């Protein structure tokens, strides 16, 4: 993506029905919002981020959550957005190191946004599934494979 420096980070806590998002702005402020985990919610998330990112380069991050993240990751990738699907163990231990005590969807989204800001995980890449049980996204921080 050129030499542009990423200045805005979005952490998304993904569940079957909802997306809890936290946008970290260049000045360190956090903005939170929840969206439906469906095509309309995916579009609304992108519009919300675009409205707050002020033209900054944006890096989206979400944990690999058993497939609930696939449609959103695919949507972001198709929209030419930088997106990392992260091994949830890495995010969990980043929270332990930070002394994180509360466990809510909003807090998880903030933790994921902070993880993306601090660790800059490589963006995932779309790959065709090898079998019915294999994952279509390569998660940052994991090895390739089913």
Host domain of residue 100: 6-119
The residue whose two tokens read 């993506």 is 1
CA distance 125 to 83: 9
Give the model confidence (pLDDT) of 6-16 as tens digits.
589 999 999 99
The answer to whether the Cα torsion of 19, 116, 134, 79 is positive or negative is positive
Whether residue 133 is contained in a domain is answered as: no
Percent of the chain with pLDDT over 70: 74
Whether residue 84 is contained in a domain is answered as: yes
Q: Which residues contact 54 (CB under 8 A, 6 or more apart)?
A: none
Q: Count of domains in the chain?
A: 1
pTM of the shown model: 0.80
Contact 11, 34 (CB under 8 A): no
CATH code at position 42: 3.30.420.40
CA distance 64 to 59: 16
């Amino acid at each position: 993506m050129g030499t542009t420096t990423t200045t805005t980070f979005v952490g998304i806590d993904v569940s079957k029905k909802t997306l809890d998002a936290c946008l970290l702005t260049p000045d360190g402020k956090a903005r939170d919002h929840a969206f439906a985990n469906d095509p309309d919610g995916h579009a609304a998330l992108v519009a919300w981020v675009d409205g707050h990112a002020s033209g900054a380069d944006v890096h989206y991050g979400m944990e690999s959550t058993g497939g609930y993240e696939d449609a959103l990751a695919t949507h972001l990738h198709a929209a030419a957005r930088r997106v990392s699907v992260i091994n949830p163990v890495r995010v969990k231990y980043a929270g332990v190191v930070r002394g994180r005590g509360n466990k809510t969807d909003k807090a998880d989204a903030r933790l994921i946004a902070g993880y993306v800001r601090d660790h800059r995980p490589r963006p995932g890449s779309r790959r065709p599934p090898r079998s019915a049980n294999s994952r279509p996204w390569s998660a940052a921080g994991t090895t390739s494979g089913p």
